[in-house]
Amino acid sequence: MGKLPNDFLWGGALAAHQFEGGWDQGGKGPSVVDVMTAGEHGVAREITETIQADTFYPNHEAIDFYSKYKEDIALFAEMGLNCLRTSIAWSRIFPKGDEAEPCEEGLQFYDNVFDELLKNGIEPVITLSHFEMPLHLAREYGGFRSRKVVDHFVKFAEVCFNRYQDKVKYWMTFNEINNKMDVNNPIFLWTNSGVVIGEGENAKEVMYQAGHHELIASALAVSKGKAINPEFQIGAMVSHVPIYPYSSNPADVMLAEEEMRQRYFFPDVHVRGFYPNYVLKEFEREGYNIQMAPGDDEILRDGKVDYLGFSYYMSTTVKSDVENDNLGSIVNGGLPNGVENPYIQSSDWGWAIDPTGLRYTLNRLYDRYQIPLFIVENGFGAIDTVEEDGTIHDAQRIDYLKSHIEALKKAVTYDGVELMGYTPWGIIDIVSFTTGEMKKRYGMIHVDRDNEGNGSMKRSKKDSFEWYKKVIGTNGEEL
């Protein structure tokens, strides 16, 4: 087998709200995640109206990277990361979202973080919006339902691009912009777009309207960013969960093909710069009235992304002749015809473990778009055991990551896919997005903190730490 390119980006991925903490420090305003309570597997997180004094909000303190960033970055450097994917908390820069001027303390915090990363030879890879919209924009404007929020986002993007133009080269506009296609789980529309569906509303129609505004906001940000620094590489970021047909029954195959449009719609527009016909037909068929402004076609055409970042955790499977009313469950990926795949095992949280699905995904996406791809999330959420002597033997995590790296290597060296890098999710233990738990751990660095917020916050290395260090040190040759 050939080798990965020498400039391959090996990193880790994080999101501000899941690890920074300091939710009300440095002038930061509350974000949409700051009103989300803790849930667990099978128990949804609640979205509270305001911040209630007697309620535990796991993201408020998270793992306190806000005050420990130097210590954590030193560990990332020791592991050998050459990049770190994280996000800028929008409400640290614009606490309410619609201010005329940004918050200097917030901007300075990211200067400090980026300087520390660069000093340690770690390239920042930055998502502008990773589920962190200022709460005020969600409550007062209805989030991305409102076209006005496009302007607020673009202003935020411009401020970041100008400020960090010499420190950050790789950007992404919206994290997993397409996960809200699953309108049955309210946290996706809330965290992606600041949207709550009202009584009697058609959730899909509202989702497409908010989505249109986000696609416009992303395209405008790309154009503005390129004008500020033509060297910028600005990408999109989508959640990619391939949908397999359950059998060779043509009805299963066609169903999977149609369902895949849920995954493809957003990247189709981001990459190609126009709406695909299958969605325009859906608008027509369903009678959706999506407001688009004159000039939007040009905005989309001019703001195409340079690369496609995506998360890959699992695959799903659909069967045409099954009635499954278990909408929104993880096993069926929120799909009405979703069934378990008999060839695949699942994690304790019901996420199917399918490394071949990653090679399949890389091929499908590259064939479709022919632009560089970047795996910006992949990983194994599991319960870890801390031994008496403090060691953590996370062999299962190593196996998961190893098999996925093998798959990506095959896609690059055998299939010829252009892949920029690999940043496994939650390189250090952080708060889970879907459940708000700490015990669903992805990290190679353990953090002493539990689901209720108890613990010393002490960091310690798991077995996967040294393993990943070796992988990076050999550019993926030794797994």
Task: Return d(Cα 211, Cα 222) in angstroms, integer.
Answer: 16
Name residues contacting ligand BG6, limited to 17-36 (CB under 6 A). Answer: 18
Residue 446, strand partner residues: 460
Under rule CB under 6 A, how many of the chain's residues touch ligand BG6? Answer: 14
Assigned token pair, 96 = 């309410």
The mark string for 310-339 relative to ligand BG6 (x by CB under 6 A, - otherwise) is -x----------------------------
Using CB under 6 A, which of 66, 114, 307, 425 touches ligand BG6?
A: 425
Is the Cβ of residue 20 or residue 377 nearer to ligand BG6 in the bound state?
377
CB nearer ligand BG6, residue 179 or residue 317: 179
Marked catalytic residue, from 20, 132, 377, 437:
377
Binds ligand BG6 by CB under 6 A, chosen from 15, 35, 444, 445: 15
Q: What separation, in Å, do the N-terminal and C-terminal C-alpha atoms of the chain show?
A: 14
Residue 211, interface with ligand BG6 (CB under 6 A)? no
- Range list of β-strands (E), 262-366: 307-311, 316-318, 338-339, 345-346, 352-353
Distances (CA, A) of 116 to 86, 145, 167, 370: 14, 37, 11, 34
Candidate ranges 91-99, 196-204, 254-262, 429-437; the one touching ligand BG6 (CB under 6 A): 429-437
Asked if residues 309 and 270 have their Cβ atoms less than 8 Å apart, the reply is: no
Which parts of 95-114 interact with ligand BG6 (CB under 6 A)?
Answer: none
Residue 245 contacts ligand BG6 per CB under 6 A: no
Backbone angles phi, psi at 239, to 5 degrees: -90, 125
- Per-residue contact string for residues 376-415; x = within reach of ligand BG6 by CB under 6 A: -x---x----------------------------------
Q: What is the C-alpha separation between 323 and 316, in angstroms, rounded?
A: 16
**7 token code pair:** 């400039």
432 near ligand BG6, rule: CB under 6 A: yes
Closest residue by Cα to residue 282 from 205, 214, 198, 336: 205
Task: Return the residue of 57, 66, 374, 433 that touches ligand BG6, per CB under 6 A.
Answer: 433
Active site residue 377: yes
Nearer to ligand BG6, 18 or 423 (CB): 18
Q: Is 241 exposed, middle or buried (0-12, 13-18, 19+ CB in 10 A)?
A: buried
123 part of the interface to ligand BG6, by CB under 6 A? no
**Gap between the Cα atoms of 158 and 154, Å rounded:** 6
Q: How far is Cα of residue 105 from the mean position of the Cα atoms in its chain?
A: 26
Which spans of this chain sit near ligand BG6 (rule: CB under 6 A)? 15, 18, 175-176, 239, 311, 377, 381, 425, 432-435, 440
Q: Which residues are known catalytic residues?
A: 377
